[in-house]
Structure 1
Amino acid sequence: MRVHFHGAAGEVTGSMHLVEAAGKRVLLDCGMIQGGSANEARNFDPFPFDPASIDALVVSHAHIDHIGRIPRLVWQGFRGPVFIQRAGADLMPIMLLDAASLAENDADRENRRRRAGEPEAMPLFTRDDVHDVLALLQPIAYDARTQILPGVEIAFRDAGHILGSSIVELWADDRKLVFSGDLGPRGTPILRDPVQVREADLVLMESTYGDRNHRDRIDTIHEFGELLEQAWNGRGKVLIPAFAVGRSQELLYWFARYWDEWKLSRWRIFLDSPMAAKVVSVYDRHQRLFDAEAQKVWKDHPTPFNLPNLHITASTEESIAINRIENGAIVIAGSGMANGGRILHHFRHNIDRRDTHVVFVGYQAEGTLGRRLVDGAKWVRIHGHDHRVGARIHTIGGLSAHTDQRGLIEWYEGFEGKPPLVLVHGEDRAREALAGELGERDGIDVRLARPGMVVEV
């Protein structure tokens, strides 16, 4: 068995790893590269392999940095099956169709500004390309060991990151590879804890937060409540960049759980996302995957997705109308890294106001607007115009969908026999810190994935 590392190898986004075994070629994830225009332009680069030579694609979960280049893979010749957990299969069309719509709109906007002689802008993929992908989907339930190709078997285990997120176990050539996908923290609301896998000959593990530990969740919730009280007393507005899958649902969960303590009935709450209603519907259909506490919360009133003052805004007109509200509004809008989507329009109208509170609840990749704001930028460029940052910027790290350094170490230490470990899906600072911590434990072979690196087991 040989593993070739082609994406999320020294960065957080663009997950893509190629496994050669049993005479077959299996691709693990095919994600979009995110983080500024220069990085995103790399999504148009040719694949470092012939897409037609790939026999099967196995997807860990439906976040766009794990699925966003699949339409191009198919467009360039891939015709094999695409395996993903069942709830992930329900989320994938929502995510890809939204990304296609954004790409088409961006290309149209650029072409309207195009000068004579300049090349025509093309979207990364179109909605028609997405439909070609969906025809290849083969959903698999958790914990069902399945032969996907002659001599190759896989099983999905719950990774606790988003609905349908999976740890991938792959058996071939009398060897077993375990790919963590993205691991959620233990105790995450709604989702079950990540499954502990015991046996492996090689482990590929994410390392997004390999250099830090999250705040205790109780402290985080207390901080969030204080922030909302401060914003209300200052007659302000709260803007929360959040991905439509994962953080948005968790935020609504906490709003329902602390409805009385946070006095949320006085606020107007907006989930401003064209995808939101569809994603909420998928969550409702897969309640059997929720943890026991979430099952209990769903039986109480108000339920997270049915708060009495929650407005799910689908149309552009509804979204625009939110910016007429001067105060008393909580707006959750995509994208989570503020590198696109409706949150930019809310920033454009509110980022200069001192009574605006911007709350980041997830990882901000290098090169994104979110990262610049978190790092203290005084001026930012939005839709071609410069804006002074007057808003108060908050980072609530305890709500991350990724486990922290402690959680990563504990998950790896659950394996028997200290199998070789390759760290993926992390910036070098985080991976080096995690490798250093693990290196202090005798006998652990830890490597940092690099583009083009090959590991044989």
Structure 2
Amino acid sequence: MQVTCHGAAGCVTGSCHLVETASTRFLIDCGMFQGNKSLNRLNYEPLPFDPQSIDFVIVTHAHIDHCGLLPKLVKHGFHGIIYASPPTADLLPIMLADSASIQEKDTEHENKRRVRRGETAREPLYTMEHAEAVNTLIHPIRYGTAFQVADDVTFRLRDAGHIIGSAIIELFIKNSDNQEKKIVFSGDLGQTGVPIVEDPTNIWNADHVFIESTYGDRVHISSRSRKEELYDHIQATYRQGGKLMIPAFALERTQELLYTLSALKNERADFPPMNIYLDSPLAIKITEVFEKHPDHYDEEARARTDEPFSFPGLICTPSVEESRKVNAMQEPAIIIAGSGMCTAGRIRHHLKHGVWDPKNTVLFVGYQAPGTLGRFLLDGAEEIRMMGLSLVVKANIAKIDGFSAHADRHGLTDWLTAFREKPKKVYIIHGEDDTRHTFSAHLQKKGFSTVVPAKGIPLQLDE
């Protein structure tokens, strides 16, 4: 039995792990690389395995860095089943259709430049047709259900507490002597005590564990709650007469923001008279999926008597015309728009119209990968170039760490130490290399045997 990490090994995106037994080959995730140009180029390289040889795929959750290359997999011959939790099964068609639309538009734009240079036009990474073909292969599996997917492989999904529908994967694999080994993939683990989703499920035992390490070298330090920090930025921006622009991932981060803003409006009589604009067609569709799955909320969210994702003062702007009107407004407002790292989407138009204005605030509430516009702004860029323009940065640039959907070093360590017996090996994935090695050293001090996998190098799990 072997596992090969074809992504999320040395970076935080591109999650894709090939598991091979004596008679079965399958993938855990098939995600897109996101970030700088060198990472994005990896998406266009040939797949490092024959898609037709893959029996099935298990998807941990619907973030594009975990599912975004499923249409490419289908394009090149995969026709097996894609297993996921019910919310993830509902989210995948929305996320992949949006991604396909981006691929088609970006390729059309690129080919116009290529024609002018006399270069050969290129094909999109995949098209809407390929994304729609994925939909026919999706099969939902509920948390806690042991599902035998091959003669030698059974799996079970557990709640990872990262986003709605996110899953830890427990694999039970039999060898030729009918002896069973258990491998656990953490997926992306969430923080404990956050709104909407349950805390990550503790797993009691495993022979081998593959654990994410996005924030494995740091702690989410905040002396105050994310709700209080958000409210301070709202008040400060309102007093300045500006706009609070929040780049937000359409999946999970936007819904958590809406949930928090709804609570603030209920609790704070002095909430400023600012409209809140959800300027993301994708986030609007995803929020409808959240509303469809209240059985996946935590106890606090289920107990709320109001509508946490729909409240007075919230205005959804799905059309381009409505979005342009938001740009033209002069009065203070809160604007939530994608993409979360400012690499695409409507947030770029809002930055174009407001990053130069000192009355405004750009508030980051999520991870910013190296090489992205969001990272440049967060690192203190005084000038940025986007959409053919050079823009001076005068807006206040701020960040709230507490909104991270990823467990920090403490959370990851707590999850691992909850195992009743230490796993034989812990494989550290889904992190930048410096972070992975730092987290590895931290775990070794606590008595864990760790491995930091290299991309594309098979790992033998025969112990």
Q: TM-score band (shorter)?
A: over 0.9
1:180 matched to 2:163: no
Query: Which residue matches 2:167?
Result: 166
Q: Structure 2 matches for 1:411-430, cutoff 5 A?
A: 411-419=415-423, 420-430=425-435
Query: Which residue matches 1:72?
Result: 72
Query: Which residue matches 2:323?
Result: 319
Query: Which residue matches 1:209?
Result: 215
CA distance in 2, matches of 1:101, 1:374: 28
Query: Which residue matches 1:287?
Result: 294
Query: Which residue matches 2:387?
Result: 383
How far 1:120 moved relative to its partner? 1.3
Between 174-183 and 427-436, the greater mean CA deviation after superposition: 427-436
Query: Are the equivalent residues in 1 in contact too, given 2:215–2:431 (CA < 8 A)?
Result: yes
| Inter-CA distance 263–382: structure 2 relative to 1 (3 Å threshold) | farther
CA distance in 2, matches of 1:216, 1:52: 48
Query: Are the equivalent residues in 1 in contact too, given 2:205–2:422 (CA < 8 A)?
Result: no
Query: Which residue matches 1:107?
Result: 107
Q: Structure 2 matches for 1:2-401, cutoff 5 A?
A: 2-114=2-114, 115-173=116-174, 174-216=180-222, 218-259=224-265, 260-261=267-268, 263-264=270-271, 266-297=273-304, 299-300=305-306, 303-401=307-405
Query: Are the equivalent residues in 2 in contact too, given 1:360–1:396 (CA < 8 A)?
Result: yes
What per-residue deviation string (whole Å, max 9, x for no partner) do you get for residues 268-317 of structure 1? 101111112221111111001101111122x13xx222111111111111
CA distance in 2, matches of 1:383, 1:121: 22
Structure 2 residue runs of 5 or longer lacking an equivalent are 175-179
How far 1:216 moved relative to its partner? 4.3
Residue type of the alignment partner of 1:220: R
Q: How many residues align?
A: 453
Query: Which residue matches 1:434?
Result: 439
Equivalent of residue 456 in structure 1, options 447, 454, 460: 460
Structure 1 residue runs of 5 or longer lacking an equivalent are none
CA distance in 2, matches of 1:222, 1:137: 40
CA distance in 2, matches of 1:120, 1:341: 24
What per-residue deviation string (whole Å, max 9, x for no partner) do you get for residues 56-79 of structure 1? 111000000000111111111111
Residue type of the alignment partner of 1:29: D
Query: Are the equivalent residues in 2 in contact too, given 1:83–1:138 (CA < 8 A)?
Result: yes
CA distance in 1, matches of 2:254, 2:48: 35
How far 1:116 moved relative to its partner? 4.4
Query: Are the equivalent residues in 1 in contact too, given 2:13–2:65 (CA < 8 A)?
Result: yes
Query: Are the equivalent residues in 2 in contact too, given 1:85–1:166 (CA < 8 A)?
Result: yes
**Aligned-residue CA RMSD (Å):** 1.4
How far 1:112 moved relative to its partner? 3.0
CA distance in 1, matches of 2:117, 2:234: 50
CA distance in 2, matches of 1:123, 1:342: 22
Query: Are the equivalent residues in 1 in contact too, given 2:31–2:64 (CA < 8 A)?
Result: yes
| Inter-CA distance 98–262: structure 2 relative to 1 (3 Å threshold) | farther
CA distance in 1, matches of 2:122, 2:276: 37
What per-residue deviation string (whole Å, max 9, x for no partner) do you get for residues 139-189 of structure 1? 111110101122111111000111110001111121111000001100110
What per-residue deviation string (whole Å, max 9, x for no partner) do you get for residues 308-354 of structure 1? 11111111111111101123111111111111111111111111111
Residue type of the alignment partner of 1:170: L
What per-residue deviation string (whole Å, max 9, x for no partner) do you get for residues 183-206 of structure 1? 110011000001001111110000
SS at the partner of 1:18? Answer: strand
CA distance in 2, matches of 1:103, 1:344: 18
CA distance in 1, matches of 2:271, 2:258: 11
| Inter-CA distance 101–263: structure 2 relative to 1 (3 Å threshold) | farther
SS at the partner of 1:71? Answer: helix
Query: Are the equivalent residues in 2 in contact too, given 1:36–1:339 (CA < 8 A)?
Result: no
| Percent of residue pairs identical | 45
Query: Are the equivalent residues in 2 in contact too, given 1:356–1:391 (CA < 8 A)?
Result: yes
Query: Are the equivalent residues in 1 in contact too, given 2:8–2:431 (CA < 8 A)?
Result: yes
How far 1:439 moved relative to its partner? 1.3
What per-residue deviation string (whole Å, max 9, x for no partner) do you get for residues 33-73 of structure 1? 00023321210101111111111111000000000111111
Residue type of the alignment partner of 1:307: F
What per-residue deviation string (whole Å, max 9, x for no partner) do you get for residues 188-235 of structure 1? 100000100111111000000011111348433222211111101111
CA distance in 2, matches of 1:121, 1:316: 28
CA distance in 2, matches of 1:438, 1:248: 33
| Inter-CA distance 262–207: structure 2 relative to 1 (3 Å threshold) | farther
